[in-house]
Chain A
Amino acid sequence: MKIIGLVIAVLSGALLMYATVDFPAWGDPASPASTYLSPHFIEKSMEETSVPNIVTAVLADYRGYDTMYETTVIFSAGLACFILLRVFLREEPGERLYRHVLTGVTVRVEGAKLPLSDDFERIDAMWTPPDLIIKTVCRLLIPFIQLFALYVIAHGHHSPGGGFQGGVILGASIIVLAMSQDLRTAVRRMREKLDAILCAIGVLIYAGAGALCLLLGLNFLDYGALTPVLHCDAITARSHGILIVEIGVGVAVMCTMIWIYCNLSSMGKYDEGL
């Protein structure tokens, strides 16, 4: 069986290699991509979309479908991780560990539950106290990380960046919180349910912006149709439309990052994590 698989893999690899012979040479000015497509993007993208960053214009406007399905793929990845890893059956432990926050003393309670209070926090056998240095530095850095993420999302029009990168940085800021404190602190900020809902909402913002264009009488994802909604001319509307879908992408990517991290690091139990 293994040999058959190997033969198939090698054969298809060789076939793909053979097909590359027919490709135009690297940077060939006569290749179909360079004759009309790239010059059009380079010369016209500014006057058609008023977005100085050609990459953003191509990704979110000229090839908006592609990016929409990429966002959907990321959403599916989060969903798949959730379905595969999440443990729903909770086995109630015979004994619970609590930690007195002020003194750091660990208390073991058998059979019963301590009432919820600020003095005691529930811990697990794997629990390790958060390190003071790491905690303080992360507390200092996280606001700047989040600010930078918003900058990256909003600045995708002018410089490298956009929804995917900004979303990843935003998600990373919550993951850093989870690593420097513990998973419960991070989950308290970004609840599991909120993650899942925001994930879907991000995709919905993207697809909804496209559907709104369809509703207003133009093609799907043709942001020029948003003119009456945004009270501006068609080209500015295209620019704003790109920003709207980038925000959708950012929200979806951020929540998927957090969702996948929480499921992976705690093996779907959401108790301790790394």
Chain B
Amino acid sequence: MDIIVTLFLFAGLFFFTGGALGILRFPDFYSRLHPAGKLDTLGLLLAMVGLALFNLHHFCLGALLTSLKIILIVVFVFLASPTATHAIVDAGVRAGLAPWVKGDERR
């Protein structure tokens, strides 16, 4: 059980690290939103599943409810995070920011 939890947490951290690296390394506004929106949601899913499993060590109704609440966080983030990314991209397009193409310098 502990091994599975650790694996989940490490996988989550792996994706979070990838997301952070992507935000630093990608060349422009739109492409930076890609790691921020995608990897964070997946990292969150893995990390929260790990925590929910860890919480079930002493199985009882209260622990199960807490685990369900932890999973509920994932549900809400899965709804809110893509919408937020969409809204930010939408605002960028409306404001007239041109996307980066190969050959341009980093912005």
Q: Tell me if chain B binds chain A.
A: yes
Q: Does B68 contact A (CB under 8 A)?
A: no
Q: Considering the complex, give the chain A residue whose CB is closest to the CB of B94.
A: A128
A14 contacts B by Cβ under 8 Å: no
Interface contact B80-A131, CB-CB below 8 Å: no
Nearest to A179 among chain B residues (CB) is: B87
Q: Assess the A137–B80 pair: CB atoms within 8 A.
A: yes
Contacts of A140 in B (CB 8 A): 79
Chain B residue numbers with a CB within 8 Å of A131 are: 86-87, 90
Cβ-based interface call for A19 (8 A): no
Tell me the B32-75 residues at the A interface (CB within 8 Å): none
The reply on B6 being an interface residue by CB < 8 A is: no
On chain A, the residues within 8 Å of B76 by CB distance are 141, 144
- The residues of B that contact A134 with a CB separation of less than 8 Å are 83, 86-87, 90
CB contacts under 8 Å to A, within B13-40, are none
Query: How many A residues have CB within 8 A of the partner chain?
Result: 10
Q: Could you tell me the distance in whole angstroms from the C-beta of B89 to the nearest C-beta in chain A?
A: 11
- CA of A9 to CA of B90 in the docked complex: distance in angstroms? 44
CB of A133 within 8 A of CB of B79, answer no
Considering the chains assembled together, what is the distance between the CA atoms of A92 and B48 in angstroms? 55
Bound complex: CA of A179 vs CA of B87, how far in Å?
10
B79 close to A137 (CB less than 8 A): yes
CA of A141 to CA of B90, assembled, Å: 20
CA distance A138 to B80 in the complex (A): 8
From A134, which residue of chain B is reached at the shortest CB distance?
A: B87
What's the minimum C-beta distance from B66 to chain A, rounded to whole angstroms? 12
Chain A residues with CB under 8 A of B80 = 137, 141
Q: How far is the CA of A74 from the CA of B87 in the complex (A)?
A: 30
Closest to A135 in B: B83
Nearest B residue to A131 via CB reads B90
Known contacts being A141-B76, A141-B80, is A133 close to B86, with CB within 8 Å? yes
Knowing A141-B76, A144-B76 are in contact, say whether A133-B94 is a contact too (CB < 8 A): no
Tell me the nearest residue of chain A to B86, going by C-beta.
A133
Most buried by A among B80, B83, B86, B94: B83
User: Does the CB pair B94–A137 fall under 8 Å?
Assistant: no
List, in ascending order, chain B residues with CB within 8 A of A141's CB: 76, 79-80
Give me 18 other A-B pairs in contact (C-beta within 8 A), A141-B79, A144-B76 excluded. A128-B94, A131-B86, A131-B87, A131-B90, A133-B83, A133-B86, A134-B83, A134-B86, A134-B87, A134-B90, A137-B79, A137-B80, A137-B83, A138-B83, A140-B79, A141-B76, A141-B80, A179-B87
18 contacts between A and B (CB under 8 A): A128-B94, A131-B86, A131-B87, A131-B90, A133-B83, A133-B86, A134-B83, A134-B87, A134-B90, A137-B80, A137-B83, A138-B83, A140-B79, A141-B76, A141-B79, A141-B80, A144-B76, A179-B87
Which 10 pairs from chain A and chain B are nearest by CB? A137-B83, A134-B87, A133-B86, A137-B79, A134-B83, A131-B90, A133-B83, A141-B79, A128-B94, A141-B80
